[in-house]
Structure 1
Amino acid sequence: MDDSTYINASLPDTSDRMLFAVPKKGRLYDQCLSLLTNIGIEFNRKPRHDIALVSNLPIALVFLPAADIATYVAKGNIDLGITGLDIIRESQTENDVAELMRLGFGKCRLQVQAPAAIKEVRDARDLVGKRIVTSFINLTKQRFAELEGVPVEEMTTQVRFVSGSVEAACGLGLADGIVDLVESGDTMRAAGLHAVDTVLDTESVLITNRHPRFPKLADTIRQRVAGILMARRYVLCQYNIARSGLELACAITPGRQAPTITSLEQEGWVAVSVMVEKKSLADTMDQLRDAGATDILVLQIANARV
């Protein structure tokens, strides 16, 4: 029985539903559930069930290991999915899936780590020809083949697979270095390791099959996600300013497209409404004040369409 037969047997009557895969556990699970709620997907997942029908859209959610989602999407068994960029690259499916957008959560780095106590190893090149342990076999081989300047088949570095507790390999004498995902780095430091190279900066990604069965619905989901991400990135800033200072104010707050400008009853004054990035908000407000703006207000954006 192939993968598509298994999925369809597990969930009867899905011919008119788009299959949307999300991680069933792990570092992306909670953030994916929050995103589904924010984009208006309503469902009830029964205990121990890995498939849930969405009640307000023709979608079936399929909860899969994050490591398998890219492969299912690439084969066409799943229409839409959320997984990590590292998984897409490791599964070598980047040519068979379409990346709709980066989601901004689940950010971490796939790094080469080595024992900090070994002073001779300060760069990944110092590990060429030695023993490397990882759960990212393909990406690791590609990186060390690049460092050696040879095809993967001719590399001398010994790359071995382990599925978990990769950081313990050096301490147990199984490896001279490891390649693993790092978020804060606390786990690696506790194991006496330090980073000597970054293979990949990764985050969660929304992907689809290159020949989706429900392109319009997939685009609807993409637009909803884009709206939520924009709402997280921007606030709506409103202020009043004399028309003589408008050019400078608009240079400070150009907005995503352009500010909305409305004449006030007070002659020579206008009201401006414009989107401003949250990360630069404090500086922007200070600059507006210095430019002569008054009544500067900031409103949160709950959702949007872009």
Structure 2
Amino acid sequence: MDLVNHLSDRLLFAVPKKGRLYEKCLSLLQGSDIQFRRSNRLDISLCTNLPIALIFLPAADIPTFVGEGRCALGITGVDQVEESGVDVELGMDLLFGRCKLQIQVPENGKFKEPKELIGKTIVTSFVNLTKKYFAELEGVSVQDMKTKVKFVGGSVEASCALGVGDAIADLVESGETMRAAGLCAIDTVIDTSAHLIVSKDQTNSELVELIKSRIEGVLAAQKYVLCNYNAPRSNLPGLLQLTPGRRAATVSPLEDDDWVAVSAMVEKKNIANIMDGLKNQNASDILTFEIANCRV
């Protein structure tokens, strides 16, 4: 971190330099108006509109840098935080990068239940989580467990076919890679997703809260649409059950005293059913609008 010693006036924000979280992180930063330009040869980018320096690191290293206070903020998976064992604040679920760390065995093999793997060899990139899982399965400490856990940095799914291990513990997103390798999952070690993590040693709380607020706004904009409609005032109680809003719906009077205009944030995934329900309760002029950004 000698390269960033001269950045004492900037908040250091660690983000994945590549991999499954990288593109999503760039989109999140852009939506939060954290402006920067990354050179292909540098893993440090200075933000042009905020006193922030982005540090691009392997996702597995980010918990350590944040946990030790080298970086105030970071984005990485909960799996990486748990694997590293560092003490950080899980500031926010970013709702992407969802997957599972699962115990996988050959589909046509002899192992069908996790207990059958006690004393066998498990290959994984997540050694600590896998050891903890099997120690609990055996009912002993990690030091006394019979199961052998072997580290492989990549291509974990090939380990069984190559005879390196009896089973693997690996991340599963869609399951296509697992099925292509002739594997099936028999248990889940941990469900994970990308999180904003915060150092417990950070001192620039005002800027941290600003970043968190902006990210919350981006996530809300992705999750909700704005629904506007006109409705008979007498039907308002039933209609507001469909569109309660995040905190409360906005209800405004119309020239016709018997009618009101309603505006509410509604979850995007439910909007079609909600519009049908509004129509059935005599609402009219039902419109929905995408939310580009917001503060919640």
The alpha carbon displacement at 1:302 in A equals 0.8
Q: Which of 165, 168, 174 is the matching residue for 1:175? A: 165
Q: 1:140-179, aligned counterparts within 5 Å?
A: 140-179=130-169
2:174 aligned residue: 184
Are 1:266 and 2:256 matched, yes or no?
A: yes
Distance 2:276 2:214 in 1: 33
Q: Which of 215, 230, 247 is the matching residue for 1:257? A: 247
Which sits farther off after the overlay, 45-54 or 65-74?
A: 45-54
Distance 1:254 1:291 in 2: 15
The alpha carbon displacement at 1:211 in A equals 2.2
1:3 aligned residue: none
Amino acid at match of 1:280: N
Q: 1:110-149, aligned counterparts within 5 Å?
A: 110-118=101-109, 120-149=110-139
Distance 2:200 2:257 in 1: 56
Distance 1:125 1:243 in 2: 62
2:208 aligned residue: 218
1:4 aligned residue: none
Distance 1:186 1:123 in 2: 21
Which sits farther off after the overlay, 62-71 or 42-51?
A: 42-51
1:97 aligned residue: 88
Q: Which of 190, 208, 223 is the matching residue for 1:200? A: 190
The alignment covers a number of residue pairs equal to 296
Q: Secondary structure of the residue that 1:227 maps to in structure 2?
A: helix
Contact 1:166/1:180 (CA < 8 Å) preserved in 2? yes
Distance 1:188 1:13 in 2: 45
Q: Secondary structure of the residue that 2:287 maps to in structure 1?
A: strand
Q: Secondary structure of the residue that 1:285 maps to in structure 2?
A: helix
Q: Secondary structure of the residue that 1:172 maps to in structure 2?
A: coil
Are 1:58 and 2:51 matched, yes or no?
A: yes
Q: Which of 109, 118, 128 is the matching residue for 2:100? A: 109
Distance 1:108 1:197 in 2: 13
Q: Which of 44, 54, 60 is the matching residue for 1:67? A: 60
Distance 1:23 1:78 in 2: 13
The alpha carbon displacement at 1:124 in A equals 1.5
Contact 1:18/1:213 (CA < 8 Å) preserved in 2? no
The alpha carbon displacement at 1:38 in A equals 0.8
The alpha carbon displacement at 1:10 in A equals 1.2
Q: Secondary structure of the residue that 1:275 maps to in structure 2?
A: strand
Contact 1:240/1:296 (CA < 8 Å) preserved in 2? yes
Q: 1:21-36, aligned counterparts within 5 Å?
A: 21-36=14-29
Distance 1:13 1:157 in 2: 47
Distance 1:250 1:11 in 2: 52
Distance 1:41 1:205 in 2: 17
Deviation per CA, 1:156-211: give whole Å up to 9, x if none.
Answer: 11111111111111001111100001111111111110000011111111011112
1:238 aligned residue: 228
TM-score after normalising by structure 2: 0.98
Q: Which of 80, 85, 90 is the matching residue for 1:87? A: 80
Q: Secondary structure of the residue that 1:153 maps to in structure 2?
A: helix
Distance 2:119 2:245 in 1: 52
Distance 2:5 2:124 in 1: 38
1:13 aligned residue: 6
Amino acid at match of 2:44: I
Deviation per CA, 1:137-162: give whole Å up to 9, x if none.
Answer: 00001111111111111111111111
Amino acid at match of 2:93: R
The alpha carbon displacement at 1:63 in A equals 0.6
Are 1:280 and 2:273 matched, yes or no?
A: no
Distance 2:93 2:115 in 1: 31
Deviation per CA, 1:109-130: give whole Å up to 9, x if none.
Answer: 1000000011x32221221221
